Amino acid sequence: MPCKGIHAISSGPVEFPELVYSFVICDDKTVMIDSGVSNSVMDISFLDKLDYLVLTHIHVDHVGGVSELVQRYKPKIILYEGFSKYLEDTTHLNASARNVLGDLLDIYGEVDPVKGGEFLEVKGGEELKLGKYTMKIYYTPGHAKHHISILIDDILYSGDSVGGRYNGIPFPTTPPPLDYDKYIESLRLQISLNPRMVGLSHGGFVSSNHMEEHLNQLIKGDYRVNIDLGGTAGELLNKLLEINYSGIAKSQNAK
């Protein structure tokens, strides 16, 4: 049966499945945005095909499932120009993740190389017809210099370019190496798109005023948040938040 509608799918590790979300948009063409961690509990058994797999950026918590998805569905993989090579050989990707994330990488799992993937490299500005809807691609650097965001049916899929949100509290998604000025610029660009909803990789679907709230907390320097999730999930999130704060501190010190 063809899939229908829009889905936010938990694709984090078993310790905190909602740490990462992937999104599936079903039209004549089926699109998935990001693929979670390698140790993901993602359930996509409802998918009988996948035409496009968009990677907002190639950090380990967004590309963990790619090799499996390629084997199963052979989607076209859409990502920023020049970065396919880091999926064909994931040595560099895993090593830099180890460097930034430390033992969190053991919880996420290392990324397997992608064999036989068909890549469609983009720069931003492209539009692809999906059926009823069109997928628009925007270049949104800052979190990573190769970050892209996607607009489909007036919903923005922002990856890690406009922060995350748990318990109704926005937080920065800014691990080192961060380009703070570009992050702010990309955030402003996406606010100007005025989408009806935003799909956050770390938070799921939220209303679009999340983006202004996040911008304001950065401008005020008020970005250290207290999100109490409790238990293992809470510990994981707190570790991740400390890494994200350190990205802002390092980028400010470098100025």
Least separation in angstroms between residue 116's CB and Zn ion is 26
Among the listed ranges 56-64, 88-96, 146-154, 175-183, the one in contact with Zn ion (CB under 5 A) is 56-64
- Told to check if 61 binds Zn ion by CB under 5 A, we report yes
Cβ proximity to Zn ion, 110 vs 160, nearer residue? 160
Contact 26, 50 (CB under 8 A): no
Q: How far from 96 is each of 92, 117, 199, CA to CA, in Å?
A: 6, 22, 26
Q: Residue 166 forms beta bridges with which residues?
A: 169
Q: Which runs of consecutive H residues, i.e. helices, occur in the chain?
A: 60-63, 66-73, 85-88, 91-101, 104-108, 180-192, 209-219, 231-253
- Which positions from 135 to 164 touch Zn ion by CB under 5 A, shown as an x/- string? -------------------------x----
Taking the complex as a whole, the smallest distance from the CB of residue 59 to Zn ion amounts, in Å, to 5
Stretch that binds Zn ion, among 59-67, 74-82, 95-103, 187-195 (CB under 5 A): 59-67
Instruction: Using the minimum distance from each CB to Zn ion, give the nearer residue, 51 or 234.
Output: 234
158 contacts 140 by C-beta, under 8 angstroms: yes
Q: Which residue in this structure is represented by tokens 């691609």?
A: 137
Helix/strand number for the chain, H first, E second:
8, 14
Of 30 and 35, nearer to Zn ion (C-beta) is 35
- In the structure encoding, which two tokens stand for residue 30, read together? 């089926």
CB of 162 to Zn ion, least distance (A): 12
Q: Which stretch binds Zn ion (CB under 5 A): 24-32, 58-66, 107-115, 240-248?
A: 58-66
- Residue 33 Cβ, how far from Zn ion at the closest point, in Å? 12
Instruction: Specify the residue for token string 């496009």.
Output: 52
Q: How many residues bind Zn ion (CB under 5 A)?
A: 2
- Nearest residue (CB) to Zn ion, 130 versus 248: 248
Q: By CB under 5 A, tell whether 34 contacts Zn ion.
A: no
3-state secondary structure of 78: strand
Q: Least Å distance between CB 19 and Zn ion?
A: 9
Q: Which residues contact 125 (CB under 8 A, 6 or more apart)?
A: 137, 138, 139
Q: At closest approach, how far in Å is the CB of 90 from Zn ion?
A: 16
Q: Does 179 bind Zn ion (CB under 5 A)?
A: no
* Residue 82 CB neighbours (<10 A): 10
Residues found near Zn ion in the complex (CB under 5 A): 61, 160
